[in-house]
Amino acid sequence: MQGIKSRQLNGCETLAFPTIGIVLLGGISDSSKRYPLHNSAGIAYTSQDHDIYTRTRLFYSKEPSVTVNGHRVDPDDPRTPSHILSRYAAVDQLNGKHLSVSSQNNGIISGSSDAGAAALAKASQEMFGISDMRSLENDFRSISESVGRSLHGGLTVTELIDGVPVSTKLLGPEDFNDYVIVAFMFSSVRNPSDAIHRNIVKSPVYSKRVISTAKKCNILRELAARRNIRGIFELAMNDTDEYHSLLESVGVKVITSEMQALINRLKEQREEFWRAYLVTGGTNVFVATEKQNVSKLEEIALSLNIPSKKLIVAGAARVFVNF
């Protein structure tokens, strides 16, 4: 493999942040590569206290193991990192040593698989001195198809170039300093992401969705160039409506009656203050607004007895410590 040069470390720890879709992804190439079938975009997020993240430790050991949130994971599971690490290790020539992974999520509301994949990708880059970021990202896409959102942080667009996904960071966390995202958290059981990917492509108008996402990502680039943050979140709200309408047409319902009631409430109050809602594949409604209006969203959460959390846009995955 090109671009690998061992750093001769015993191990390292990394931090990465979960993600929220802006132009939502639905449809992947296969269960192995997990390449997206169309363009998409998203942001990395954390809490205002910076206590939402994935922390991952990659290290040499006598026996290989993969532990996620305190539980041992079957190394033969296609979405574990074992198959990727074994290829890196073959190049690195471990001389009898093995690689082990320990990963722990903290406070994550949604988008944990992106954070987990990105944290391990960053650790692998550090351990093996990987210089080819595009190949690194696409290797770890087999764990999470939108890993680039967490790996690069901020606002990221992922576009298909000759059939290969390429992620580009458009804006950093500092560009969103005047905005807060309030997560309204519902307790319903979410649909597995693979159920969404498997079913959405069955729609007779899926080809139009592919065209639509390409157009939206082009518009997103223009909005980002002008630092039009309102426009970015309004585009995301429009995409939420389009995406979930398409999903429901193929029998996959994500937005529950309780979530819809909140969305209706937000629509009714559109003249009172600016806000934009986003719903990805989970049972949360994310609502972006300017900082001065956060209390109004918190009042809505209290009145409807919905747990909520204030979020901000987060940065790229980073190395926490080497040892």
Average pLDDT of the residues in 107-119? 97
> What's the pTM?
0.93
CA 150 from centre of chain: 6
Instruction: Indicate if the pLDDT at residue 92 is higher than 70.
Output: no
Domain coverage including residue 184: 179-309
Q: Are residues 80 and 134 in the same domain?
A: yes
CA 32 from centre of chain: 18
Interval 126-165: pLDDT, tens = 998 998 999 999 999 999 999 999 999 999 999 999 989 9
Confidence of residue 86 (pLDDT cuts 50, 70, 90): confident
Q: Are residues 41 and 121 in the same domain?
A: yes
For residue 133, tell me if it sits in a domain. Answer: yes
Q: Are residues 257 and 108 in the same domain?
A: no
Instruction: Indicate if the pLDDT at residue 207 is higher than 50.
Output: yes
Number of domains in the chain: 2
Name the DSSP class of 1: -
> What is the number of other CB atoms lying within 10 angstroms of the CB of residue 5?
11
Q: Are residues 136 and 104 in the same domain?
A: yes
Instruction: Indicate if the pLDDT at residue 27 is higher than 90.
Output: yes
Q: What is the pLDDT of residue 201?
A: 96
Q: What is the pLDDT of residue 319?
A: 97
Instruction: Indicate if the pLDDT at residue 198 is higher than 50.
Output: yes
**Mean pLDDT of the residues in the chain:** 93
Q: Are residues 193 and 293 in the same domain?
A: yes
Q: What is the pLDDT of residue 2?
A: 47
Q: Are residues 160 and 185 in the same domain?
A: no
Between 91 and 20, the more confident residue is: 20
Q: Are residues 130 and 189 in the same domain?
A: no
Q: What is the pLDDT of residue 5?
A: 56
For residue 5, tell me if it sits in a domain. Answer: no
Average pLDDT of the residues in 193-218? 95
Interval 254-270: pLDDT, tens = 999 999 999 999 999 88
3-state secondary structure of 144: coil
Q: Are residues 250 and 204 in the same domain?
A: yes
The answer for 265, left when phi > 0, alpha when psi is -120 to 50, beta otherwise, is alpha
Q: Are residues 170 and 183 in the same domain?
A: no
Cα-only R_g, the chain: 20
Domain with 159 in it: what CATH number? Answer: 3.30.230.10
CA separation, residue 218 to residues 155, 157, 196, 211, 213 (Å): 14, 9, 24, 11, 9
Domain with 223 in it: what CATH number? Answer: 3.30.70.890
Q: Are residues 270 and 170 in the same domain?
A: no
Instruction: Indicate if the pLDDT at residue 18 is higher than 70.
Output: yes
Q: In sequence order, what are the residues at sequence separation of 6 or more whose Cβ sits closer than 8 angstroms to the Cβ of residue 51?
A: 106, 107
Q: Are residues 161 and 113 in the same domain?
A: yes
